[in-house]
Structure 1
Amino acid sequence: MKNSQHLKVYVQMHPDNKMAWYLLGKEYYKNGQHGKANYCFNQAGEVYEAFEHSKVPAEMLREYEEGLIRENRQRHESRLRLRRGLLVLLLLLLMLIPSAVAPGVNLDKSGFSVPEAAAGDLEEPVAAEPADEEAPSVPDVLAFTAAGEDAASAGQALAAILKSQKAPSQTAVLAMKKSGRWLIWKKHLPLVATLEQSRKGKIVYQSYNPAVCACEPPEAGGLKKQAELWQEKQEELAALWSAIHSYNSSKGKPPESLKELTRPFPGNILGGTTPLMKQEFAALRAASAQQPLQASAQPSPAASPDGTAAAGGNGSVEDTANRSKGQPPFFSQPLAIIVDKQNHRLAVTSGNIILRNYAVGLGGGKTPEGEFVISDKVVNPNGHDNGEFGSRGMQLSDTNYAIHGTNEPDSIGKDESLGCIRMKREDVEELFAMVPMGTKVQISKGVLPDELLLPGERYPSRTPLDQTNPNKVYHWLN
């Protein structure tokens, strides 16, 4: 423990000496203080990696450690000699003025007057713990984000956020699994790490994955619960953000109110609203006005090599106040639809993140390939919910093709339509509610994973009946 004390003093005086941090960590580890050891190893950075993965003789490390301790002890003894000399000089001066008591001086039982500060300096100084010196400040803003599991575990997920002047004081990182070039958004994503700014502005990385940190992670029950609540909001915020983007693209300005997005047909840009949308509309509108809305997601994005989300795909939602200062939601790229004719799948995406992956019925070669937009959204096409187009229809550009429901559910997964995209009722109603008018649609082959992505608790899909269109008979190529 004596060595630990000298090394603690040394790293306080030389915080940039990574070798000293590494040796202090080894002392803590030897004494069973693994939490403090891991903190020191994090400060040691590449020195820890180099020495832990190389065969450096133990004698060399001991010699280096003894040199640091000897240097620190000599410096400490030199300071003590100087302080004692000053104390003796001060006592002599006080003896020449017996009738006066100097300010800040206490008289002890022996009659000697000892300055309070000097008396304390005579004792062996006990250094503050490095963890206290570098302890993260109490976070006034707790943010969440998600990234590919490899990148999140490696601590790379927040590189862009941490460079930002608007970076939150603490950010929790959730991990998304990869499927080819895609990241998969699911409920209850695992918490893998937190990053927090210390009082000195350094970033403290805490892993919650025992296999990665080789440690016993802190209790994270509270953080996990907050993460689940954060996740519950993101899809509704994505739908609202995408609707604002769509309105802005068509009108050249953001909507003044939420009602402008949910007018009766044909002004029904958004299928419906939720209490969260009403609460967050003003903040998201302000964010869109201060920060140019990003271009729509590319239909076939490539994930970056380290597994982080594409630009705009791994931002964070903080609180309403921060979004009103220009912070977009997590899904900052507008929602897009991708149809895979090879796998009979339809996915809802944002950047290179998949939020949904549905099974659909197609028409084989009759289903066109290419890029379209949703130009018409109608409830109960042709006046009823159980006809050939089901309860919802979304027309693709100015064509006779559409995404719609069906009264032939057995055709899902097959090529039996005349070119349209058929969906199960609960799937098409959820899709109708999630994606706004103007959403981009790309139809191609071999671009989506085969695994379905359908949450147990669906996106709110109740839609006002004023989105019907009794004035038109649809003749889509069912």
Structure 2
Amino acid sequence: MRSSIVLMMARVSAALALAVCLAACTTVSGPDPMPFAAAPAPAMPDAARYGAVTDEKFPVPAVSLADLKPRYMRQLVDYQTDQPPGTVVVDPAHHFLYLVQGDGKALRYGVGVGRAGMEWSGTAKVSYKREWPRWTPTSDMIARDPNTYKKWSVGMDGGQTNPLGARAIYLFENGKDTLYRIHGTNQPWSIGKSVSSGCIRMMNQDVIDLYSRVPAGTKVVVLPSGAGT
């Protein structure tokens, strides 16, 4: 009898031990304990600003996430320059455009620039600006590629397919049109590349932002393509 009682108590003890073990391995519902929570992702430039714009004369589609490279997204950065606040500085070598803010800061945008042999550099001023501008290829562009450009020799109205995009900022040097523009593009994949016919292209969302910040008369410095900051 005594041996039966001892055996029963041993079985009960084993069952309790097993129950404790199983309880310890059970997943508890609810939030993870704070000490083991995953660290938040590093802060990135705000991608939401590259969403669709619907309050324009023509809708501006969102930029594909595949084309949104954090390096070329609009952001405030440290930037040392002797240019006064309000100056636009274009650095073709690194595909950046800076709007100088002062106090060692600048608003930086990614840009696409002219391919080899088609660059322009120098100091200009914003002569005038246009929303959804009309585009006319230059005579050099038509001579170089008539199949592409000749049909537009009388110009193309503004719109989603217009290569100048949502805005154009016209650069003059010593009162003369340089024929170079800062403008939007319907090819956001080209930002960060040297593929244009010489102009400085920006994502439409960025050129709309820059357009609102730079009045006529703004100084624009375009660095030589091999003299980046």
TM-score (normalised: structure 1): 0.25
Q: Hey, which of these two has a bigger chunk of helix by percent?
A: 1
Structure with greater Cα Rg: 1
Q: Hey, which of these two has a bigger chunk of strand by percent?
A: 2
TM-score (normalised: structure 2): 0.50
